[in-house]
Amino acid sequence: MEVVAELALQNNSMNNKISVKNLNVFFGDKHVLKNINLDITPNKILAVIGPAGSGKTTFLRCLNRLNDLDPEMKFTGEILFDGKNIYQGINPVELRRRVGMIFALPIPLPMSIFENIVYGPKLAGITNKKELNGIVEKSLKDAFLWDEVKDRLNDPAMKLSGGQQQRLCIARALALKPDIILMDEPCSGLDPISTAKIEEAMRQLKKEYMIIIVTNNTKQAARVGDYTAFFLMGELIESNETGKIFTSPNDKRTEDYISGRFG
């Protein structure tokens, strides 16, 4: 069954930055993603929802080729990023500099706050102290963390609270000036106030970036997503504007999931 993504049809005035075509992913014998077709639009937030094991995280990790780390992974189909297939002729290291990722558990690297943020830019070859300071300040401000940490940038990042660590991770991703930010259940371990802060940051960030967020929390998808895609058992059941998905979904299964009948 081929699922036709409608996003492209509705937004053909805009430049589609990512388009996923006939994507199939296998881990060993397991068919994890089945024939996914989806176009993703810049300056919008795409929320990916679905029950555990539906393949949403795998989908996200295809976009920055983090699945490549698993030697068992095989795939067919293509992912076009600005018209170029990211699995052909693109160095994954370069790709990951343009596609930032936030993980479910905040994972500050075992170094100071400052070093965590300049880690990526330094690897990319920026050594000018002034420029690095500027990057740190801007990224922390964009991630709504600057005021809380500006006096202790040299403290170990592990000392921050969970919510602060997650915003540090966002700042760290922003420091690379990516085009796309992938978020894998970024609020699953956080309290409601930290979650609200991160959602606020996302609404600001979408002005400059394309954001794709995987979430187990359908309410969060409704709050922040401009578009929502529903995955089930490795298939993309439907994707549409968030309002439509939540009020009049095309597929019965989407309705069942959103109304909490399973999942």
Partner 1 sequence: MKNTKEVVIEKSLFLIALSAIFMLFLIAIFIFKEGTPLIFKVGFKNFVTSSKWFPLEGQFGIFSMILGTLWITAGALIIGVPLGLSCAIFLSEFVPRRIMAILKPTIELLAGIPSVVYGFIGMVVLVPLIRENLGGPGLSILAGSIILGIMILPTIISISIDAIQAVPRSYREGSLAMGATKWQTIHMVVLKAARSGIVASIILGMGRAIGETMAVIMVAGNAVKIPRSILDPARTLTTNIALEMGFAAGDHRQALFATGVVLFIIIMILNIIANYAVRKR
Footprint of partner 1 on this chain (CB under 8 A)?
64, 66, 69, 71, 93-94, 96-97, 100-101, 103, 105, 107, 109-111, 119-120, 123-124, 169, 172-173, 176
CB of 105 to partner 1, least distance (A): 6
Q: How far is it, in rounded angstroms, from Cα 20 to Cα 59? A: 10
Q: If you search the block for the tokens 């081929």, which residue do you land on?
A: 2
Check residue 88 and give left, alpha or beta (phi > 0: left; psi -120 to 50: alpha).
beta
Sorted by sequence, the CB contacts under 8 Å of residue 89 that are 6+ apart come out as none
Q: If you search the block for the tokens 């760290």, which residue do you land on?
A: 172
CB of 177 to partner 1, least distance (A): 11
Nearer to partner 1, 66 or 210 (CB): 66
40: helix, coil or strand? strand
CB of 206 to partner 1, least distance (A): 20
Nearer to partner 1, 159 or 219 (CB): 159
CB of 57 to partner 1, least distance (A): 12
CB of 25 to partner 1, least distance (A): 17
Distances (CA, A) of 139 to 88, 172, 211: 31, 7, 16
Nearer to partner 1, 149 or 174 (CB): 174
Nearer to partner 1, 49 or 99 (CB): 99
Nearer to partner 1, 27 or 103 (CB): 103
Assigned token pair, 79: 């992912």
